[in-house]
Structure 1
Amino acid sequence: MSTEKQFTVGINLTVTVELSREHGVLMKTSEVAKGFGVSESTLREHKIGHSDEIIEGTHFVMRINKIKPFPEAQFYIPYKQILWTQLGVFRLCHFVKSEQAKIFRDWAEDLVITASNQIRIEHSQLTQERLVDLLADVAKIDDEELRLSIVNKLINTHYEKKN
């Protein structure tokens, strides 16, 4: 699951991030560059120049996308896209120095906390299917008092989260 959301970083600066269960926050190079107030090539130079500190899978991930070379084309051309993780954005903070980078750094810290909380909440929510599965297991418990206690907790928790 991933969801794109726009966030306002500062006056006249909005960036798009992708919330991801696997990586927390992912950002396209163009969005990170916009946030730091630098060019995409500056970020690529930092990635290459600090390859011992900027690690694939931890600080960035590669995604293969497809694009049509022209609207009428019957085929797609694959291309690689770098997506920066929240750790990658923080690592870049060590290298990118500018006034806008300071503002972006503060915003990124707040974003990570917000995104982490949102992802944690989504993970903790019970779906109807999961609740039925849990209740089927609870029905196997011999102790009636314990069984009723667990059922009440599951149903009340599920009801409260939906409302």
Structure 2
Amino acid sequence: MGSSDRLFSRQRTVHQILGGGLAADLMLWRRKNLTAGILVVTLAAWVVFEISGYTLLSLSSSVLLLLFTVLFLWAKSAAILNRPSPPIPHLHISEEVTNEAATLIRYHVNALLSVFEDIALGRDSEMFIKVALSLLLISVIGSVTDFLTLGYTSKFHGLVISI
């Protein structure tokens, strides 16, 4: 490696400073097709949600309506033209998966309620300060931007999980 690969003549390269993985490759445009693809998808999402005024719920509803209409018309025309019906797999959620999901949700809700109880009874002042500051920060950021922009540009879920 030449000296041009080093940042401020340091021992580590910029790629190593950025973590050296896929994220560093994307930031340094080493995987040009993937980086350009991410930028195009981000631009398309911005156009759909900000310029056109769609919300995530209205876009999902429109896509599902289009999908159901196409499948319905395909099935009706297949019956008239003696063609095969659309290949739709039989989807179902097993009881085992439902029980595992319920157990996981119950565990996390109980942990959250335990923390809430400790804060409400004054047992954990440090956690109270963390939660209060996090909620204040979320409130300030939320008043400046809308939810979709906040979701696109930050690691909002990391803030909530770390509490």
The TM tier, using the shorter chain, reads under 0.3
The TM-score, its normalising length taken from structure 1, stands at: 0.21
Q: Which has the higher contact order (CA 8 A, sep 6+)?
A: 1
Higher strand residue share: 1
